[in-house]
Amino acid sequence: MALWMEAGSEPKTESEIVDLEAIAALKESAAIELKENGNEYVKKGKKHYSDAIDCYTRAINQMALSDADQSILYSNRAHVNLLLGNYRRALQDAEEAIKLCPTSVKAFYRAVKACVSLNLLAEAKSYCEKGLEQSPENEELKQLAAQIDLQNSEHECREAEVSKAVAAVKDLASAFEEREIKMGKALYQELTGVKKPTLDKNNILHWPVLLLYAEVMSKSSPLPWDNEHVYTRDVLELYYEAGSGVCLSKREIFHYLADGTAAAHLEKFDNEKNDAADKSTNNTVVGGGGKRWIKVNERRRLYDVLKDPNHIVPGIPAFYVVSKKSSFYKEFKTGNWALPEIA
Protein backbone atom coordinates (compact mmCIF):
# COMPACT_ATOMS: atom_id res chain seq x y z
CA MET A 1 0.00 0.00 0.00
CA ALA A 2 1.10 3.55 -0.74
CA LEU A 3 0.62 4.50 2.94
CA TRP A 4 3.56 2.26 3.90
CA MET A 5 5.95 3.72 1.30
CA GLU A 6 9.07 5.49 2.54
CA ALA A 7 9.20 9.23 2.06
CA GLY A 8 10.65 10.21 -1.32
CA SER A 9 10.38 6.78 -2.83
CA GLU A 10 8.63 6.21 -6.16
CA PRO A 11 5.55 3.97 -6.52
CA LYS A 12 6.49 0.64 -8.05
CA THR A 13 3.17 -1.07 -8.53
CA GLU A 14 -0.09 -0.11 -10.12
CA SER A 15 -1.77 -0.38 -6.72
CA GLU A 16 0.67 2.11 -5.17
CA ILE A 17 0.09 4.57 -8.03
CA VAL A 18 -3.67 4.33 -7.60
CA ASP A 19 -3.35 4.82 -3.84
CA LEU A 20 -1.18 7.92 -4.25
CA GLU A 21 -3.58 9.41 -6.75
CA ALA A 22 -6.46 8.79 -4.32
CA ILE A 23 -4.54 10.45 -1.44
CA ALA A 24 -3.71 13.45 -3.64
CA ALA A 25 -7.36 13.76 -4.65
CA LEU A 26 -8.46 13.65 -1.02
CA LYS A 27 -5.92 16.31 -0.04
CA GLU A 28 -6.97 18.49 -2.97
CA SER A 29 -10.63 18.11 -2.04
CA ALA A 30 -9.84 18.95 1.58
CA ALA A 31 -7.85 22.04 0.56
CA ILE A 32 -10.69 23.30 -1.66
CA GLU A 33 -13.24 22.73 1.08
CA LEU A 34 -11.05 24.51 3.64
CA LYS A 35 -10.62 27.44 1.27
CA GLU A 36 -14.40 27.72 0.80
CA ASN A 37 -14.96 27.49 4.56
CA GLY A 38 -12.41 30.24 5.06
CA ASN A 39 -14.23 32.45 2.57
CA GLU A 40 -17.51 31.87 4.43
CA TYR A 41 -15.93 32.80 7.77
CA VAL A 42 -14.67 36.07 6.28
CA LYS A 43 -18.21 36.91 5.16
CA LYS A 44 -19.48 36.32 8.71
CA GLY A 45 -17.39 39.20 10.04
CA LYS A 46 -14.63 40.03 12.50
CA LYS A 47 -15.57 37.47 15.14
CA HIS A 48 -14.77 34.70 12.66
CA TYR A 49 -11.55 36.08 11.15
CA SER A 50 -9.37 33.78 13.28
CA ASP A 51 -11.40 30.81 12.02
CA ALA A 52 -10.84 31.99 8.45
CA ILE A 53 -7.07 32.18 9.01
CA ASP A 54 -7.10 28.69 10.48
CA CYS A 55 -8.93 27.32 7.42
CA TYR A 56 -6.59 29.02 4.95
CA THR A 57 -3.54 27.79 6.91
CA ARG A 58 -4.77 24.21 6.93
CA ALA A 59 -5.54 24.44 3.21
CA ILE A 60 -2.03 25.73 2.50
CA ASN A 61 -0.51 22.92 4.56
CA GLN A 62 -2.25 20.31 2.37
CA MET A 63 0.22 21.26 -0.39
CA ALA A 64 -2.28 19.77 -2.84
CA LEU A 65 -3.16 22.65 -5.14
CA SER A 66 -1.47 24.28 -8.11
CA ASP A 67 0.85 27.27 -7.59
CA ALA A 68 -1.89 29.61 -8.79
CA ASP A 69 -4.41 28.17 -6.30
CA GLN A 70 -1.85 28.15 -3.47
CA SER A 71 -1.20 31.82 -4.30
CA ILE A 72 -4.90 32.55 -3.80
CA LEU A 73 -4.80 30.90 -0.37
CA TYR A 74 -1.85 33.07 0.70
CA SER A 75 -3.52 36.15 -0.77
CA ASN A 76 -6.77 35.40 1.07
CA ARG A 77 -4.91 34.95 4.35
CA ALA A 78 -3.07 38.23 3.70
CA HIS A 79 -6.48 39.90 3.28
CA VAL A 80 -7.70 38.66 6.68
CA ASN A 81 -4.43 39.65 8.36
CA LEU A 82 -4.89 43.15 6.95
CA LEU A 83 -8.40 43.27 8.40
CA LEU A 84 -6.97 42.24 11.80
CA GLY A 85 -4.14 44.77 11.64
CA ASN A 86 -1.46 42.06 11.42
CA TYR A 87 0.41 44.03 8.77
CA ARG A 88 3.75 42.22 8.99
CA ARG A 89 2.05 38.81 8.57
CA ALA A 90 -0.12 40.22 5.80
CA LEU A 91 2.99 41.39 3.94
CA GLN A 92 4.66 37.98 4.31
CA ASP A 93 1.56 36.22 2.95
CA ALA A 94 1.22 38.65 0.06
CA GLU A 95 4.89 38.14 -0.86
CA GLU A 96 4.41 34.35 -0.83
CA ALA A 97 1.36 34.76 -3.07
CA ILE A 98 3.40 36.87 -5.52
CA LYS A 99 6.21 34.28 -5.62
CA LEU A 100 3.69 31.57 -6.53
CA CYS A 101 1.80 33.73 -9.04
CA PRO A 102 3.68 36.86 -10.20
CA THR A 103 0.59 38.08 -12.09
CA SER A 104 -1.74 38.17 -9.07
CA VAL A 105 -3.03 41.75 -8.91
CA LYS A 106 -4.80 41.12 -5.61
CA ALA A 107 -1.56 39.89 -4.04
CA PHE A 108 0.23 43.06 -5.21
CA TYR A 109 -2.62 45.21 -3.88
CA ARG A 110 -2.45 43.54 -0.48
CA ALA A 111 1.34 43.81 -0.38
CA VAL A 112 0.98 47.56 -1.06
CA LYS A 113 -1.64 47.98 1.68
CA ALA A 114 0.55 46.18 4.21
CA CYS A 115 3.64 48.21 3.27
CA VAL A 116 1.76 51.50 3.57
CA SER A 117 0.52 50.50 7.02
CA LEU A 118 4.10 49.60 8.02
CA ASN A 119 5.37 52.92 6.58
CA LEU A 120 7.55 51.00 4.10
CA LEU A 121 6.92 53.55 1.38
CA ALA A 122 9.71 52.51 -1.00
CA GLU A 123 8.51 48.88 -0.95
CA ALA A 124 4.89 50.02 -1.29
CA LYS A 125 5.75 52.07 -4.38
CA SER A 126 7.63 49.13 -5.94
CA TYR A 127 4.75 46.68 -5.42
CA CYS A 128 2.27 49.26 -6.66
CA GLU A 129 4.21 49.79 -9.89
CA LYS A 130 4.48 46.04 -10.46
CA GLY A 131 0.75 45.62 -9.84
CA LEU A 132 -0.06 48.37 -12.33
CA GLU A 133 2.14 46.63 -14.89
CA GLN A 134 -0.25 43.69 -14.61
CA SER A 135 -3.41 45.85 -14.53
CA PRO A 136 -2.72 49.41 -15.78
CA GLU A 137 -6.34 50.55 -15.29
CA ASN A 138 -6.77 49.21 -11.76
CA GLU A 139 -8.37 52.13 -9.88
CA GLU A 140 -7.53 50.84 -6.40
CA LEU A 141 -3.83 50.62 -7.26
CA LYS A 142 -3.95 54.05 -8.90
CA GLN A 143 -5.42 55.53 -5.72
CA LEU A 144 -2.75 53.83 -3.62
CA ALA A 145 -0.04 55.14 -5.96
CA ALA A 146 -1.32 58.70 -5.45
CA GLN A 147 -1.47 58.15 -1.68
CA ILE A 148 2.10 56.85 -1.63
CA ASP A 149 3.37 59.82 -3.65
CA LEU A 150 1.66 62.20 -1.20
CA GLN A 151 3.10 60.40 1.82
CA ASN A 152 6.56 60.39 0.24
CA SER A 153 6.30 64.12 -0.37
CA GLU A 154 5.20 64.76 3.23
CA HIS A 155 7.98 62.50 4.52
CA GLU A 156 10.59 64.36 2.49
CA CYS A 157 9.31 67.69 3.83
CA ARG A 158 9.48 66.40 7.41
CA GLU A 159 12.98 65.07 6.86
CA ALA A 160 14.08 68.42 5.43
CA GLU A 161 12.65 70.21 8.48
CA VAL A 162 14.41 67.79 10.82
CA SER A 163 17.73 68.21 8.98
CA LYS A 164 17.40 71.98 9.14
CA ALA A 165 16.61 71.86 12.86
CA VAL A 166 19.51 69.49 13.57
CA ALA A 167 21.92 71.75 11.68
CA ALA A 168 20.72 74.77 13.69
CA VAL A 169 21.14 72.87 16.98
CA LYS A 170 24.65 71.75 16.07
CA ASP A 171 25.64 75.27 14.98
CA LEU A 172 24.38 76.72 18.26
CA ALA A 173 26.15 74.07 20.34
CA SER A 174 29.37 74.69 18.41
CA ALA A 175 28.99 78.44 18.97
CA PHE A 176 28.79 77.87 22.74
CA GLU A 177 31.88 75.66 22.65
CA GLU A 178 33.92 78.04 20.49
CA ARG A 179 33.06 80.96 22.78
CA GLU A 180 33.75 78.89 25.92
CA ILE A 181 30.24 79.54 27.22
CA LYS A 182 29.04 77.01 29.79
CA MET A 183 25.35 76.10 29.71
CA GLY A 184 23.34 74.94 32.70
CA LYS A 185 19.79 73.79 33.30
CA ALA A 186 17.18 76.28 32.09
CA LEU A 187 15.59 78.21 34.98
CA TYR A 188 12.71 80.65 35.33
CA GLN A 189 10.80 79.23 32.35
CA GLU A 190 7.59 79.90 34.26
CA LEU A 191 8.50 83.58 33.81
CA THR A 192 10.01 83.57 30.34
CA GLY A 193 8.48 80.60 28.56
CA VAL A 194 10.86 78.63 26.34
CA LYS A 195 13.38 81.25 25.30
CA LYS A 196 16.62 80.28 23.61
CA PRO A 197 19.56 82.03 21.97
CA THR A 198 19.73 82.18 18.19
CA LEU A 199 22.62 82.24 15.77
CA ASP A 200 22.36 84.43 12.68
CA LYS A 201 23.92 83.86 9.27
CA ASN A 202 26.94 85.95 10.30
CA ASN A 203 27.62 83.57 13.21
CA ILE A 204 26.52 86.18 15.77
CA LEU A 205 24.75 84.90 18.88
CA HIS A 206 21.62 86.75 19.95
CA TRP A 207 20.55 86.26 23.56
CA PRO A 208 17.26 86.99 25.29
CA VAL A 209 18.18 88.31 28.74
CA LEU A 210 16.17 88.04 31.97
CA LEU A 211 16.41 90.85 34.54
CA LEU A 212 15.30 89.86 38.04
CA TYR A 213 14.72 92.26 40.91
CA ALA A 214 16.25 90.46 43.88
CA GLU A 215 14.46 92.64 46.43
CA VAL A 216 11.05 91.59 45.15
CA MET A 217 12.06 87.96 44.83
CA SER A 218 13.28 87.79 48.44
CA LYS A 219 9.87 88.52 49.96
CA SER A 220 6.93 86.16 50.39
CA SER A 221 4.65 88.55 48.51
CA PRO A 222 5.39 91.15 45.79
CA LEU A 223 6.37 94.65 46.95
CA PRO A 224 4.45 97.70 45.77
CA TRP A 225 6.59 98.78 42.87
CA ASP A 226 9.28 101.25 44.01
CA ASN A 227 7.11 103.77 45.80
CA GLU A 228 10.25 105.37 47.25
CA HIS A 229 11.84 105.80 43.80
CA VAL A 230 15.08 104.14 44.83
CA TYR A 231 15.39 102.20 41.57
CA THR A 232 16.72 105.03 39.42
CA ARG A 233 19.17 104.31 36.66
CA ASP A 234 22.14 106.02 38.32
CA VAL A 235 22.05 103.79 41.43
CA LEU A 236 21.38 100.39 39.90
CA GLU A 237 23.87 97.53 39.96
CA LEU A 238 23.76 94.26 38.05
CA TYR A 239 24.84 90.86 39.39
CA TYR A 240 24.88 87.26 38.32
CA GLU A 241 24.93 84.16 40.50
CA ALA A 242 28.20 82.25 40.55
CA GLY A 243 29.98 79.68 42.66
CA SER A 244 27.46 76.90 42.04
CA GLY A 245 25.81 75.05 39.22
CA VAL A 246 26.34 72.08 36.96
CA CYS A 247 27.32 72.37 33.32
CA LEU A 248 25.19 70.45 30.85
CA SER A 249 26.90 67.76 28.80
CA LYS A 250 26.99 68.14 25.03
CA ARG A 251 24.21 65.60 24.75
CA GLU A 252 22.06 67.55 27.20
CA ILE A 253 22.76 70.82 25.37
CA PHE A 254 21.72 69.25 22.06
CA HIS A 255 18.45 67.99 23.51
CA TYR A 256 17.72 71.28 25.29
CA LEU A 257 18.21 73.22 22.05
CA ALA A 258 16.22 70.66 20.02
CA ASP A 259 13.23 70.81 22.37
CA GLY A 260 10.30 72.44 20.61
CA THR A 261 11.83 71.98 17.13
CA ALA A 262 11.32 69.39 14.39
CA ALA A 263 14.33 67.52 15.82
CA ALA A 264 12.81 67.14 19.30
CA HIS A 265 11.95 63.46 18.76
CA LEU A 266 15.53 62.40 17.99
CA GLU A 267 17.14 60.22 20.64
CA LYS A 268 20.67 60.86 19.44
CA PHE A 269 22.49 63.28 17.18
CA ASP A 270 25.07 62.11 14.66
CA ASN A 271 28.10 63.67 16.33
CA GLU A 272 27.20 63.00 19.96
CA LYS A 273 30.00 61.43 21.93
CA ASN A 274 29.55 58.66 24.42
CA ASP A 275 27.43 60.33 27.10
CA ALA A 276 29.39 58.93 30.04
CA ALA A 277 32.71 60.15 28.61
CA ASP A 278 31.12 63.47 27.71
CA LYS A 279 29.82 64.05 31.21
CA SER A 280 33.20 63.34 32.76
CA THR A 281 34.62 66.43 31.08
CA ASN A 282 31.57 68.72 30.91
CA ASN A 283 29.43 68.21 34.03
CA THR A 284 31.48 70.25 36.49
CA VAL A 285 30.66 72.41 39.48
CA VAL A 286 32.22 75.85 39.27
CA GLY A 287 33.03 78.51 41.81
CA GLY A 288 34.08 76.59 44.89
CA GLY A 289 34.75 79.10 47.64
CA GLY A 290 34.41 82.16 45.41
CA LYS A 291 31.83 84.96 45.71
CA ARG A 292 28.29 83.86 45.03
CA TRP A 293 27.11 87.14 43.55
CA ILE A 294 29.36 88.69 40.92
CA LYS A 295 28.91 92.34 40.06
CA VAL A 296 28.74 93.03 36.33
CA ASN A 297 30.76 95.83 34.83
CA GLU A 298 28.14 97.24 32.49
CA ARG A 299 30.82 98.46 30.11
CA ARG A 300 31.77 94.86 29.33
CA ARG A 301 30.25 93.07 26.39
CA LEU A 302 27.63 90.44 27.20
CA TYR A 303 29.84 87.84 25.52
CA ASP A 304 32.74 88.64 27.88
CA VAL A 305 30.46 88.36 30.91
CA LEU A 306 29.02 85.02 29.79
CA LYS A 307 32.43 83.44 29.28
CA ASP A 308 33.61 84.23 32.82
CA PRO A 309 35.07 81.00 34.30
CA ASN A 310 32.48 80.83 37.12
CA HIS A 311 29.45 81.78 35.01
CA ILE A 312 27.01 79.05 34.00
CA VAL A 313 24.15 80.34 31.83
CA PRO A 314 20.80 78.97 33.12
CA GLY A 315 19.28 78.50 29.66
CA ILE A 316 19.33 82.25 29.01
CA PRO A 317 21.40 84.88 30.87
CA ALA A 318 19.76 85.95 34.13
CA PHE A 319 20.95 89.08 35.93
CA TYR A 320 19.82 90.46 39.28
CA VAL A 321 19.08 94.17 39.61
CA VAL A 322 19.61 95.88 42.97
CA SER A 323 19.63 99.52 44.05
CA LYS A 324 22.37 101.03 46.19
CA LYS A 325 19.73 103.30 47.76
CA SER A 326 17.46 100.42 48.78
CA SER A 327 17.34 99.14 52.37
CA PHE A 328 17.70 95.69 50.83
CA TYR A 329 21.12 96.50 49.35
CA LYS A 330 23.12 95.68 52.51
CA GLU A 331 21.18 92.44 52.99
CA PHE A 332 21.94 91.48 49.40
CA LYS A 333 25.66 92.29 49.67
CA THR A 334 26.08 90.22 52.84
CA GLY A 335 24.23 87.29 51.29
CA ASN A 336 21.58 87.18 54.00
CA TRP A 337 18.78 86.32 51.60
CA ALA A 338 17.87 83.45 49.34
CA LEU A 339 16.24 82.97 45.98
CA PRO A 340 12.77 81.41 46.01
CA GLU A 341 12.71 77.71 45.17
CA ILE A 342 12.00 77.07 41.50
CA ALA A 343 9.76 74.10 40.76
Average confidence score pLDDT of the chain: 86
Q: What is the biggest distance separating any 2 CA atoms in the chain, rounded to whole angstroms?
A: 121
Q: Of residues 341 and 140, which shows the higher confidence score?
A: 140
The average pLDDT across 175-183 equals 94
Of 100, 87, 320, the C-alpha closest to 214 is: 320
16 pLDDT higher than 70 = no
Q: Residue 11 carries which side chain, given as an amino acid letter?
A: P
Whole-angstrom distance, CA of residue 337 vs CA of residue 343: 19
Whole-angstrom distance, CA of residue 151 vs CA of residue 297: 56
Highest average pLDDT, of 14-23, 92-101, 305-314, comes from: 92-101
Instruction: Give the whole-number percent of the chain exceeding pLDDT 90.
Output: 65
Q: In the CATH hierarchy, which fold is given to the domain comprising 2-152?
A: 1.25.40
Range list of H helices, the chain:
14-44, 49-62, 67-84, 87-100, 105-117, 121-134, 139-178, 189-192, 214-217, 250-258, 275-282, 302-306, 328-334
Outline which parts of the chain fall under CATH 1.25.40.10: 2-152
| pTM, two decimal places | 0.67
271 pLDDT higher than 70 = no
- pLDDT tens for 85-138 read 999 999 999 999 999 999 999 999 999 999 999 999 999 999 999 999 999 999
**Residues near 85 by Cβ (< 8 Å), separated by ≥ 6?**
117
